[in-house]
Chains A and B, each alone.
Chain A
Amino acid sequence: MNIKKQVTLLDKIGMEKAIGKIGADISKRLLNENIAFVGIQTRGVPFAKRLSEIYSAQTNKTPAMGRLDITLYRDDLNQVLDWPVVKESEIDFKVEGKTIILVDDVLFTGRTVRAALNALSDYGRPKCVKLAVLVDRGHRELPIEANYFGMKIETSPLDYVSVLFNETDGKDEVKIIEQNI
């Protein structure tokens, strides 16, 4: 039997600080850009919303907001066991000329981000794309890095990093579930 060890990495206050730091950083560095936050389904969406609120408060500008589901762009559709449900994508603005901040909760292999970049480029040609994640857990399989991150942690490839948002899960929490065999 697998004994799973759970360690909380960030509680509500820790998450608020980490998101606040990323939001402030984006507000400062991208102050003069025409920016849009695009959250990757599912947990990237509430995360992007929070970043945009911080950005609005600090810059007095209202950034465009979007959400992106990468299901139809996955590179493993020929291998998956559970056929994925297509979730909502909504990009109601022209991406041309925009600096787009792709937002996701966890950066792991980089394959989700690869899919998101391809999906985004089918909407048009943004001026620039940046990547913001809450947790970078390593084990990249593609040459992709985050421009903004809340924390970097060492994990085993088999660990599961769980990020919960109040909006989607009823509470704010980041924890790692270790797989000890």
Chain B
Amino acid sequence: MNKTSDNFNSSSIQSSALNSRHLIALEKLTCKEIELILETAREMKKVFIASKEGTRSVKKVPALQGRTVVMLFFEPSTRTRNSFELAAKRLSADVVSIAVSVSSTTKGESIIDTVRNLEAMACDIIVVRHKSSGVPELLSHKVRSAIVNAGDGAHEHPSQGLLDIFTLKERFGSIEGLNLLIVGDILHSRVARSDIWGLTKLGAKVTLVGPPTLVPQGLEMPGVEIQYDLDSALPSADAVMLLRIQQERMESTFFPSLREYSHRYGLNKKRLSLAKKHCVVLHPGPINRGVEIDSEIADGPRSVILDQVTNGVAVRMSILYLLAGKL
């Protein structure tokens, strides 16, 4: 059994892998696991993004040939789903997308039965998004395949957190000591929670900024600070991440009007001039131009929003590759 690895000179292989078969939350990952995902993502990015002169004519690798990845999205998503699909395809996996609106869920099938049916068809990795926190975790206890959380309620969105960290690391070289401002609707944001876990583990500071109604109490922990005034928080920021106002999740009124929100928390050129010269701007998308971010900033030189999109594919390739090692 050991022979095959000898063919590849097993002494050079460091035995380094993720601890779990599932990726549910950055809260559960160790620093070493996060670093492994980031390091692997750096190589994955070279598969589809040209480095200097050397362009790859084929933008995919055969690593996951013969494996099947299922996209099971119970909530609308374009970016994350497309990103995971592209990631799987660039690893040569087969991809199935389940459109929930036409699936058996509408006929009353439970989500566990849906997933067991997918497994009966020999699917290997299931990428799940659900409006309720804890669904991916629940599934991970019930199935043999690998579960990847692509966003559950206001709990976590680990692949987004990892791509944010990757983008910051690419820009600054190291995460330790950075101060990231996360501005806006922290209350409904799973992205903020994944960023907080991931960044604080790697030694960064996270400052949450927003109106008190949208910044919940209870998020204070070592490395996390809460501020309600953006202008006074900006001068110490190395990076600012703006969150979209998720009107679809707001069942009551959290601020008087979008105009008022934009006036106090929207990022424009004048505001950004308060920050350090090297300060960059992130956004998990989709952006609402003129609400949380001005077009001039979104399209400007400090914006790394499209780098985040590119890096998202690389990080998800890394996640899928590393989880396949646990199957």
Interface residues of A (CB under 8 A from B): 41-43, 66, 69-74, 76-95, 105-106, 108-109, 111-112, 118-119, 121-125, 141, 157, 160, 162
Contacts and interface: CB of A to CB of B under 8 A. Distances in A.
A164 B52 CA distance: 31
A89 B13 contact: no
Contact of B7 (A66, A76, A124): A76
Given A74-B8, A76-B4, A123-B57, A86 B321 contact: yes
Interface string B1-37: 1111111111111111100000000000000000010
A123 B5 contact: no
A108 B53 CA distance: 32
Given A84-B8, A106-B9, A162-B11, A78 B16 contact: no
27 contacts: A43-B12, A72-B63, A73-B61, A73-B63, A74-B8, A74-B63, A76-B4, A77-B324, A78-B66, A82-B10, A82-B15, A82-B17, A84-B13, A86-B39, A86-B321, A89-B43, A91-B54, A92-B52, A92-B53, A93-B53, A105-B9, A111-B7, A112-B7, A112-B9, A119-B61, A122-B56, A160-B11
A160 B46 CA distance: 33
Given A79-B4, A88-B43, A111-B8, A124 B13 contact: no
Nearest to B64: A77
Interface string B42-75: 0110110001111111101111101000000000
B277 interface: no
B8 A81 contact: no
Summarize A's interface: helix, strand, loop or mixed.
loop
Contacts of B226: none
Given A73-B62, A88-B43, A94-B55, 11 more contacts: A41-B12, A71-B63, A72-B91, A73-B63, A81-B2, A85-B36, A86-B39, A86-B321, A106-B9, A118-B62, A124-B56
Nearest to B8: A112
A160 B7 CA distance: 10
Contacts, number: 105
Instruction: Give the interface SS of chain B, mostly helix, strand, loop or mixed.
Output: loop
A102 to B, nearest CB: 15
Contacts of A157: 3
Nearest to A95: B54
A83 B17 contact: yes
B325 interface: yes
B233 interface: no
Contact of A90 (B51, B58, B325): B51
B57 A81 contact: no
B54 A92 contact: yes
Contacts of A41: 12
B59 to A, nearest CB: 8
A97 to B, nearest CB: 13
Contacts of B15: 82
